[in-house]
Chains A and B, each alone.
Chain A
Amino acid sequence: MTHELARVSSSVPGMDRDPTLLARRLERLRALDRRLVTAAELPPPARRTAAGADPGARAAHLAAGLGGTVEEGSGGPVVVVERATPLPMTLDGLARLPYPVDMERPLVYLDTETTGLGSAAGTLAFLVGIGRWDGASFCVRQLVLPDHADEPALLAALEAEIPADACLVTYNGRAFDWPLLVARYRLHRRPPPVTAGHLDLLPIARQLWRHRLPDARLASVEAGVAGVRRHGDLPGALIPERYFAWLRTGRAALLADVLAHNREDVVSLGRLLGEMSERLADPERRRSAHPGDVASLARVFQRDGRQDEALACYAEALAAWDEREPAPTRLDRDTLAAEAARLLSRTGRHAEAEAAWRALADRGGSTAVWAWIALAKHREHRARDSAGAMEAALRALRIVERRRAVGIPLRAAERDLARRLARLHRRARARRLT
């Protein structure tokens, strides 16, 4: 068998990779490929620059261009760029919010810039920005990869930035940044850093602020929530190519925008957390917060089982909408009021619940149908007032019928009322008979 193989490969030179023959075949393939791919689609060819040859020189060149320093590690050099941004905010209130942040632990704000999307093995993080508070400023330390070959050094440097009891703060880091970094450690066969927690602000931002923002991109959220607008921010889609261009050309200036973008992102993490802490955590301060945000927070408290705080937030939001600035729509306001009334019933505050439903019922509109039904329920089962229950149900029925007449049937309410009224009638008849 092996003899046979040897014969095949020796008698058929095309099967081997005879270097000169291979060179000629590649030359022909090159000619063919160039015709299939237009020149515009090809990136410029690699060019070795002065900075490219020696790894140390390359890192130094990059550090000089970005205003940073070179830190030599066991696995090569990393360029470190540090900048402080004034950010006089405190996180004192954060512990009172329904999010898993342990203020005793160090918070590590982290954001990466990568060579692509997803966490397949060919994508790497060439820049990791790490943020922390330093008094009234927010300090961002950026680890920049001078070259592919230096990745072990970057990973080692990153390990040193993340203590084992750290809680990460990221934006979409649970789905993207952190899995990608873990993949890089796996690829280099090193254990990924241990952390004690991970607060991803993306789902939180969606919960709290989606109601008044066009999208959930970090820059949009920051602009909408903190009023900070970025100027000349590099679009994320252009970032990978900037890095490849740096690798090809050795022009450090190409990465300046990328570093600025990343720094803004990391500062945003601190700023958003600060906004949450300062505006939403304290009940007093909350009165000046956006009522819609307070309404969102009410729902978060409720989901977290902290019903007293949820009810307080509902009340604050409704009060703000009624007194200070009107809700975006009447339906938004009434829906929130209905959620609050429902929570009051569920927590046994029946008198308050009844009052809340009564107020809603008097406002009319589609929410009033459910308010009347809720009142019917309350009167039938709790107040034992069948006649009152019947009256409430009939009030609801009247609205439902009007709706149907104008072509907007409320089917769920109709079904509920049909059953409810039948039962109440039956009971009334039975009572008349006895």
Chain B
Amino acid sequence: MDRRIHRVGQNAPNMDAAPRHPRTLVDKIWDDHVVLDGKGAPSVLAIDLHLVHEVTSPQAFTGLRRRGLKVAHPERTVATADHSVPTTPRNLPILDAMAAAQVDQLTTNCTEFGIPLHGLGSPSQGIVHVIGPQLGLTQPGMTIVCGDSHTSTHGAFGALAFGIGTSEVEMVLATQCLLQRRPRSYEVRVDGRLAPGVSAKDVILNLLSRIGVGGGTGHVFEYRGSAIEALSMEQRMTICNMSIEGGARAGLIAPDDTTFEYLAGRAHAPKGREWDSAVERWRALPSDPDAAFDRTISIDASALEPMITYGTNPGMGLPISAAVPDPAATEDGPGRRALESALAYMDLQPGQPILGQKVDVVFIGSCTNGRISDLRLAAAALKGRKIADGLRLMVVPGSDEVKREAEREGLHEIFRAAGADWREAGCSMCIAMNGDQLTPGQYAVSTSNRNFEGRQGKGGRTFLASPLTAAASAVAGVVADPRRLPGIEALAAVGGR
């Protein structure tokens, strides 16, 4: 692989400013997009791509109308409906009147302001963080924002991508810029080889269990090291997706040949000579070898087990063979009280093994693990098997295209034969806005990203885990170790991309 690094990017400002100090990937993207250096005030940062969805945008469009403003660059903006859409067949109406109004409002707003919309019924509809990469809109070196905290997903391509609030959505619509301060950098080094049955989801859950849900606040993660380089694009997206769960607004990975191979030929990716010059530009992006980070943490990939959460935030995770922690064994203080209240909500006993814990529902989907390789892994694990009696398995593709691809490969037949419910694309039970939800007290193994109280339905209890762990648990009816699946070595090699 060609990993030559050009020390000075072609578009780098101040080329004659001598000598340049080594820069990180984030520094380079930042420098390329600063319109005005704030000098104490926040800087004006140019945004390349703005993704919009139905839930966090209506008030922003209302604001534009109130001020009589237009969208500055509708051709750098793109919208989809994902959060509150049903995952029942598309010919059925949206039963929830408020959700229907919100989806209609998005269509009205996009039409009025000229924003391209991949709406319900479009073959390119899907979760915003699934369709951006799929359409080739997400590209290295870009600044990407969306009124959604999992915008960090797009960092997998070496883009600076982060979630914003609705006021900021309005700002970007109006000016294609944001007021930002340069973030601090946090190097997450992952070296070594993942064991069969251990995947990207386990890497990020492990990081979160170490640093907690506030550990990365004020920082941007850069994931690097041999284990990261070995990951497919979709696995990289899984890791970057959950950066926000560690408090970091963004997380990114240097672009390399894996990135370029994924991008080549996608609808909005550059073509021909433009492609060549883009790749040349992208190859200059990786952090300089001697660039310094504000913080660093190392993870030994070869020592990782499959991970699962036991508590009520994504930092409350453990290796799947471990026991639920005992509050009495932790230091007195807010940490102990948080653990106590998490175990009370989850109705788990201190010291009980998490393996064997009863499960009512398994959810496979979301912007974390709802891509084709995730579905391939889950299907491989479920092939020729049946889910446990009384358990409900929902498989929700991340986008309409993922759904079509899965059906081309016959994955839906495997899921259905196993007893699963095969749905239309959307956020679904990840956020439980659309009627796909847990009932109070139910336990779910979920491939999504948040196990907050009530996240998947009021009173519902969530264990976050990888698609393989989810599939293994669906068969067993209890939390199960995917490494015990027959033929796990071969299984884990499924996936691709």
| A and B part of one assembly | no
Q: Which residues of A contact B (CB under 8 A)?
A: none
